[in-house]
Amino acid sequence: MTRKYFGTDGIRGRVGEMPITPDFVMRLGFAAGKVLASADLHLSQGERPAVLIGKDTRISGYMLESALQAGLSAAGVDSLLTGPMPTPAVAYLTRALRLQAGIVISASHNPFEDNGIKFFSSDGNKLPDATEELIEAGIDQPLTPKPSAQLGKASRVRDADGRYIEFCKSTFPSELDLRGLRVVVDCAHGATYHIAPHVLHELGAEVVSVGNEPDGLNINDKCGATQPAMLRAAVRQHRADLGIALDGDGDRLVMLDHEGRIYDGDELLYVIARHRQASGTLKGGVVGTVMTNLALENALNGMGVEFARAAVGDRYVLEQLIAKRWQLGGEGSGHIVCLDKHTTGDGIVSALQVLHALRRNAQTLAQAAAGLTLYPQVLVNVRVERKFDCHANPAVAKAVSSAESKLGSHGRVLLRPSGTEPVIRVMVEGEPRHQVEELANDIADCVRKAAA
């Protein structure tokens, strides 16, 4: 089935434009509710299916939460509302509360004008493709509510933040703590603003919080994992040992050392994998994506650790991990999955895994990452019409072939459409950097002309 609405990470778009409108989201809730209500859920007589609804701090979340709740209620499904809550927290709480599904209203690292809807199954994993297809099939069907006596109810989960804080702390060894460590945490004015600082503080760290004053409009605005300049300044100002930057919904992570040097997802994945291999706790190999820096693959192979690449998107990393029965994977963007700790990527939990390695080995972040020098990698986003096929264009193909010839065996070229935005991502990797930048810009210009 060709997907009409669902992308690689749920349904996302500009608020007020299809599909992120109140009418559509209500119909989405109704369609999802009908799918849930028709599933074999082993419910008691008269018991209704129930889902958890969390959101980030975007002002549009109020509107979309109400629309989603209305659709679910019309389908006879109860809603449990958490208010602002990180995406991975919704995955955890859905499983912990034994609910039928979890829904997150968020556009992750995108600006506040965007929003989206993504689903988790009862076990805290992304919904299977087949279930998403069933929901899609029902969105455009008539919305006929259940009889009044069968409508769903809504209630608040009052202790959601406390439950999740305790869960995050449980993923850090009980015999270790963070005493003596000064950490700046940037919450991107997003869903972790009332979670991450408490987790770190309760583990013993001296915490300086920035990006923790959401107003509905400032999420990801010049802050967070995608724009760590504010964090760098704060780390230097407070003479901190480390900086931790999360994105708007809390599933993405980058870290900084005391000098303000940024460590991306590939480097943090290396730190975790290196520690686990040395301690004998690495189960199987490591999964990256087609965007993972070639240097990480080479470094892991040099350690005797198997490496596999998945398509871009944490759901595809998860698929490979499950298929291979491995536990560790991630993306350079900062999505890191530790399946022995959580069912999905979690920025806070991932940060704690890095901190575990540093504390256990009495190392700085720079020392723990030594042995990995990333190849220069340039990524250029080119805005196009959603249906534009860059791979079918002869001029683009020629530009790519020319670049690959110049890079030889010491570089890569990758063009791929984004799963969340109407852009083509042009990635060139290799050495020297000036050549990589020139080739990336040349290919991007070619894509722009071809798409015009």
Per-residue pLDDT reduced to its tens digit, 265-283: 999 999 999 999 999 999 9
247 and 298 share a domain? no
For residue 309, is pLDDT > 60? yes
Average pLDDT on 64-90 reads 98
Residue 1 lies in a domain: no
For residue 77, is pLDDT > 90? yes
Bond before 19 cis per omega within 30 degrees: yes
Binned at pLDDT 50, 70 and 90, residue 37 comes out as: confident
- What pLDDT is recorded for position 271? 98
In 351-443, beta strands by DSSP E = 377-383, 412-417, 423-429
Residue 168 lies in a domain: no
SS3 label, residue 72: helix
SS3 label, residue 49: coil
Scan for tokens 């039928």, then name that residue. 100
Per-residue pLDDT reduced to its tens digit, 326-360: 999 999 999 999 999 999 999 999 999 999 999 99
CA nearest neighbour of 314 among 94, 56, 7: 7
Domain boundary among 136, 159, 182: 159
Residue 429 lies in a domain: yes
- Evaluate if pTM is beyond 0.85: yes
- What pLDDT is recorded for position 315? 87
- What pLDDT is recorded for position 421? 79
Residue 73 near residue 43 (C-beta atoms within 8 A): no
How many CA atoms are closer than 13 Å to the CA of 154, on its beta-carbon side?
16
Per-residue pLDDT reduced to its tens digit, 209-267: 999 999 999 999 999 999 999 999 999 999 999 999 999 999 999 999 999 999 999 99
Beta bridge partners, 55, equal: 84, 105
- What pLDDT is recorded for position 42? 63
- What pLDDT is recorded for position 7? 84
Per-residue pLDDT reduced to its tens digit, 381-412: 999 987 788 888 999 999 999 999 999 877 89
Residue 107 lies in a domain: yes
Report how far residue 71's alpha carbon sits from residue 58's, in angstroms, rounded to the nearest whole number.
21
CA nearest neighbour of 19 among 141, 115, 135, 101: 115
392 and 326 share a domain? no
Number of domains making up the chain: 4
Residues 6+ apart with CB under 8 A from 132: 3, 6, 119
Residue length, the chain?
452
Q: How far is CA 309 from each of CA 211, 270, 285, 292, 316, rounded to the nearest angstrom?
A: 33, 15, 11, 8, 9
For residue 44, is pLDDT > 80? no
Domain boundary among 215, 241, 262: 262
Residue 84 near residue 161 (C-beta atoms within 8 A): no
67 and 80 share a domain? yes
Report how far residue 309's alpha carbon sits from residue 330's, in angstroms, rounded to the nearest whole number.
10
Report how far residue 422's alpha carbon sits from residue 223's, in angstroms, rounded to the nearest whole number.
23
194 and 64 share a domain? no
Residue 3 lies in a domain: no
Scan for tokens 């299916």, then name that residue. 49
> What residue spans of 47-128 are helical by DSSP H?
60-74, 87-96
47 and 143 share a domain? yes
316 and 335 share a domain? yes
Residue 424: give its domain's CATH number.
Answer: 3.30.310.50
Residue 209 lies in a domain: yes
CA nearest neighbour of 196 among 214, 173, 180: 214
182 and 318 share a domain? no
Q: What average pLDDT is seen over the chain?
A: 94
Average pLDDT on 155-162 reads 96
Residue 5 lies in a domain: no
Scan for tokens 């291979």, then name that residue. 324
> What residues make up the domain containing 432?
377-451
Binned at pLDDT 50, 70 and 90, residue 3 comes out as: confident
CA nearest neighbour of 296 among 374, 409, 376: 374
426 and 409 share a domain? yes
Domain boundary among 242, 262, 282: 262
Q: How far is CA 405 from each of CA 132, 163, 395, 408, rounded to the nearest angstrom?
A: 41, 54, 16, 5
Binned at pLDDT 50, 70 and 90, residue 138 comes out as: very high
Catalytic residues: 108
The Cβ of residue 1 has, within 10 Å, a number of other Cβ atoms equal to 10
- What pLDDT is recorded for position 41? 60
- What pLDDT is recorded for position 452? 82
Residue 340: give its domain's CATH number.
Answer: 3.40.120.10
26 and 141 share a domain? yes
For residue 48, is pLDDT > 70? yes
240 and 109 share a domain? no
- What pLDDT is recorded for position 401? 94
- What pLDDT is recorded for position 428? 96
Structure tokens given for 176:
């270790």
Which has more pLDDT, 45 or 29? 29
Report how far residue 37's alpha carbon sits from residue 77's, in angstroms, rounded to the nearest whole number.
7
How many CA atoms are closer than 13 Å to the CA of 126, on its beta-carbon side?
23
Which has more pLDDT, 219 or 416? 219
How many CA atoms are closer than 13 Å to the CA of 430, on its beta-carbon side?
21
277 and 345 share a domain? yes
Q: What percent of the chain has pLDDT over 90?
A: 87
- What pLDDT is recorded for position 370? 95
